Amino acid sequence: MQGPDYENVPSMNETSEWKPKASQSKSKTRKKKHLIEFSEDDMIVLQDVHKSYETGAPALSGVNLRIKRGEFAFIVGDSGSGKSTLIKLLLRELLPTLGEIYVDGINVKKIRRKKVPKYRRKMGVVFQDFRLLKDRNVYENVAFAQRIIQVPAKQIRKNVPQVLSTVGLAGKYKAKPRQLSGGEQQRVALARALINHPDILLADEPTGNLDPTNSWEIMKLLEEINREGTTVLVVTHNREIVNAMQRRVITMKQGIISSDEEKGGYSNED
């Protein structure tokens, strides 16, 4: 097998096959009839979303939320406030008990099981525990995301080094996840999430296992990704980062949105 093309890794400004989000065409305008009011600027819309688990315990109790295309938002709140349930609903791992969820104009409830993989490819997802394939190296972990959408091998060999250089890991493509620090593993997860140019990036506690320096580096990368046009939704407990970044902050409490502020911060009661 031909190795990855590291000889001609372009900088972020150079034109290349793997292009940052800003140079990608906008997704097609959808003119479908929706059950709720929906503007073309809306990337994520939740209307009166309820979710109860089989035990009957409510995880979400009437959540209304609109996230615009290209927005950067934090979702904060205590454990059990419904943040992770919200992410799982957006990933269509769970279905709402009541209410409607639209992502890029698609009614998530109506996606057939067979179509879920295609829907998920709209999203990049990053977890607190990185969730890398432990027995594969950095290159293979990132390439995997392209293989599943059947990108030709030649193209993958070009794209992977480029996205790895974007997250500052070009030199470590042969390393296995266990040989990397937490920050580096999270960068690999980011590279994997970005390589297919997702419309949305969902980050569930991306800095939860990282030290402050690495946490800031990951947040800077997320900001950069957002600047390129990707909608970024970050679930976090990191008070310092939320307060410093002055972005939209959606606070959840006991399954509802207790506050939603532009350029907000962690409220004192949290």
Binding footprint of other proteins on the chain (CB under 8 A) = 91, 93, 114, 117-121, 123, 125, 131-135, 144-145, 147-150, 152-153, 192, 196
Closer Cβ to other proteins, 189 or 242, answer by number:
189
Query: Which residue has tokens 């406030």?
Result: 81
Shortest gap between Cβ of 152 and other proteins (angstroms)?
8
Closer Cβ to other proteins, 188 or 249, answer by number:
188
DSSP string, 92-115: TSS--SEEEEEETTEEGGG--GGG
Shortest gap between Cβ of 82 and other proteins (angstroms)?
20
- Which are the contacts of 243, defined by CB distance < 8 A and separation ≥ 6? 265, 266
Closer Cβ to other proteins, 18 or 216, answer by number:
18
Cβ atoms within 10 Å, residue 13: 7
**Structure-token pair, residue 172:** 């470590």
Shortest gap between Cβ of 54 and other proteins (angstroms)?
14
- Which are the contacts of 128, defined by CB distance < 8 A and separation ≥ 6? 204, 205, 206, 208, 209
Closer Cβ to other proteins, 101 or 202, answer by number:
202
Shortest gap between Cβ of 2 and other proteins (angstroms)?
14
